[in-house]
A and B are shown apart, each in its own frame.
Chain A
Amino acid sequence: MSQPAISQHLAVLRGAGLVVDRRVGRNVFYRARPEGLGPLIDWIDRYEGFWRAHLRSLGNLLAEGAGQDGGAGVGRGDALDHRGL
Chain B
Amino acid sequence: MVAQESGGATRSITVDYEFPEPPEAVWRALTEPGLLARWLMPGDIRPVVGHRFTLQAQPAGGWDGVIRCEVLAADEPRLLRYTWRGGAQEVDGYGHLLDTVVTWTLRSREGGGTHLRLEHAGFRSEDEFAWRALGSGWRTKQASLAEAVTAAG
Q: Which residues does A use to contact B, with CB under 8 Å? A: 1-2, 4-5, 8-9, 12, 15-18, 36-37, 39-40, 42-44, 46-48, 50-52, 54-55, 57-63, 66-68, 82-85
Contact = CB atoms under 8 A, between A and B. Distances in A.
Q: Label chain B's interface by main secondary structure.
A: helix
Contact of A67 (B15, B28, B145, B152): B28
Contacts of B125: 37, 40
A52 B15 contact: yes
Nearest to B118: A51
A72 to B, nearest CB: 8
A54 B113 CA distance: 19
Interface of B: 11, 13, 15-21, 24-29, 35, 38-40, 93-94, 96, 116, 118, 120, 123, 125, 128-130, 132-134, 141-142, 144-145, 148-149, 151-153
A1 B152 contact: yes
Contacts of A55: 15, 17, 116, 118
B13 A18 contact: no
A47 B152 contact: no
Q: Label chain A's interface by main secondary structure.
A: helix
Contacts of B27: 67
A85 B16 contact: yes
A39 to B, nearest CB: 4
A40 B11 contact: yes
B116 to A, nearest CB: 8
B58 to A, nearest CB: 10
